[in-house]
Every structure is written in C-alpha cells, then in structure tokens.
Structure 1
C-alpha cells in the first residue's frame, strides 16, 4: 500500500503487551513513561510486526479519541515517545499528592506542624500556623484524615 508502513513493536522503546481477547481480536498495550495506548487488532495471528489499517469513518462521538490515538501512535513510532498532550495529569493528582504526603508523615509519627512544613514550606507555616481560624491546621488534619480513609477502604473507589 503506498504511503503506509509496517509497525515493528519490538523496535519501539516501550513495553508491549499483547492479549488475545476473542478468536480474531487482540489487544495491544503500548506503555512508556507512565503513559499508555491500547489498540484493538483484528487478525488471526499476532506478531510484533503489524501493517495497521483503520476505518476512515467513525461514529461522531469516537472521532476525536480515535484521531488522538492515531496521532499518539504516529508520534511514538517516529519519536519514541508519547506526546504529553494526550496524557494530561489527573485533575486530582495535586490534591492526592498532598494527601499521601500528609499520610506518610502521620504514619511516621510526625507532628502536624512538621507535616505542614513539608507540604507548604516554613514561610507559610510561620505566617499562618497560629491564625485564629486554624485554616492551615484544618487543611493538614483533613489531608491526614482523607489519607487514612483512602488507605483503609477508599482506595476501592479508584479501582472502579
């Protein structure tokens, strides 16, 4: 086919996992640097070298996602990396990072003020720790409480 190329997954600098789902359907997972792309390949036998083709027309609700997947695959084959623009950070990641750091401190026996210093820095803690509203202390307490909840049973929400 003019203008087309075979993709050799063995040559890509990423982890490749192939899972047979049904008789002629296989799932190919490409993972690198915390980013991944999953392809469904319809073929009887799977090797690590494919000639990929795709439908030209899709249902409207799938169009953007499929074009993004093709662009990510194309970038991976040409540059060896997934484009960051297709793997934005989870909006909860900053909050979860604070929660986990607060939980780590609490489990290690650190005082709340020490946890606050680790999270927000000395300057902010010196300014706000004794504030009558206790906003900074409350923030640390809530983070530790949420961390304990996630540790004991809340993690199941992430698995759904």
Structure 2
C-alpha cells in the first residue's frame, strides 16, 4: 500500500502471513475510536464511485484535503476503500469503488443505492457536504434528539448501576444537582421511575436490542 496523503490515518487490509486486520485502538474511547461498519450490515453508509478527474462521469471533482475533518482510510483485501470522516459532532463513512481516493483531486460520484428509501442517504449527503463547506451538514443545530438522549441515559445508567451506584447517584450524574434537589422527592416519583426505566432499557440494549439501531 502506498503512503497516504497528508492528513490521513491509514489502515491496510492487505495482510502479511500471521497478521490480522487491525481493530479499533482499545485505548480509545467510543468518541475517538475509528470504527468501520460492514456495508451489508449497516444502512448508514454512503456509497460512491471514485473516478479519474479527467473522466469524471457524473461526479464532482474534489480533494479530500478540502474536507475540514479527521480522515481515516481503510482499504480491504478486495480493493474496496472506506473513508471515515469525523468532526467533533458528525461522522460519515463513505464506501468508494474505483480509483484510489488518496489521489488528489478525484471525481466523486455518489450512488443512491437505497432507493426508494432515500431519507437517511440525504441526511448523510448533507453531512458530507457540510464537511467540505466547513460547517454543519444541514445548517441546523445538532443537539441530542429525544431518542438519542434515551439511549445515552440507558447506557450510562446501566454502567453506573453495574458499578454499584445508587439511583440517586445516577440521577446526579445524568440530570445534575439542581434537578435532583428539585424533583427527587416528588410524590409522583417521576425521576425515580424514569431512572428505573433507563436501567431496564440499557439491559435490553446490552442483551441484543442495540441491533435495532443498525437497521
């Protein structure tokens, strides 16, 4: 494998005898690790043809150096290329077929291979375009959605409970001192019941429920 262009971290799928395809760095946390998903098991991947800049087909000529983000390249043993683009708040995995995407510039021809279920691909395309513009992909604030907050609370509550923390200690971690002081002794026990549901939801996710998030 040739040396990657400046600004890339590269992972090669070409293995020497006795070697393994590398895994994510076990010392990195979930926000820092470079994790690549298989295209046949994960729907949230953009696909594209990479073409020579002089024969772009229907693609737009770009250079990955123009994307204001961290870039990690994985080249599999069959020559398929995956580029992981990450900012502080967004991640896009792009699967490329064709020319070497380390060449700068090249033509990128995005594929709508999920037609007619195109909504997810449109969101990823806006996110990718935002990385090349140097801003958010859709021009909107990207705070936590209600669903994402529930997943976050569930996993955090499960971890803290397994670590021996009381429900009140978990509430302090998730909601802060002011909210706990105000709502912990509420006669309706809303906060306590919410925490119990979060722990149960986390246990379901640990038991295999997380697979629903990959579809």
Scaled by the length of structure 1, what TM-score is found?
0.62
| 1:141 positional shift | 0.5
* Structure 2 unmatched ranges of 5 or more: 1-53, 55-59
Other-structure match for 1:38: 94
Change in Cα spacing, 1:87 to 1:18, as seen in structure 2 (3 Å) is farther
Tell me, in whole angstroms, the C-alpha distance in 2 between the residues paired with 1:37 and 1:142: 33
- The residue matched to 1:31 in structure 2 has which SS? strand
* Residue 182 of structure 2 is aligned to residue 127 of structure 1: yes
Q: 1:129 to 1:103 in 2, by over 3 A?
A: same
| Distance in structure 2 (CA, Å) of the matches to 1:86 and 1:159 | 24
Size of the aligned set, in residue pairs, is 149
Residues 1-160 of structure 1 aligned to structure 2 (within 5 Å): 7-9=62-64, 14-17=70-73, 28-33=82-87, 34-36=90-92, 38=94, 40-41=96-97, 43=98, 45-46=99-100, 48-49=102-103, 50-52=105-107, 54=109, 69=125, 76-77=131-132, 79=134, 83=137, 85=139, 88=142, 92-160=147-215
Partner Cα separation in structure 2 for residue 74 and residue 120 of structure 1: 35
Query: Cα offset for 1:48?
Result: 2.1
Deviation, 1:124, is 2.2
CA shift, 1:51, in A, is 3.3
Note if contact 2:81-2:96 (Cα within 8 Å) is conserved in structure 1.
yes
Larger Rg: 1
More helix by share: 1
Alignment RMSD? 4.1
RCO greater where, 1 or 2, for CA within 8 Å and sep 6 or more?
A: 2
Larger mean CA deviation between 148-157 and 8-17 belongs to 8-17
Q: For residues 90 and 123 of structure 1, what CA distance do their matches in structure 2 show?
A: 22
- The answer for unaligned runs of 5 or more in structure 1 is none
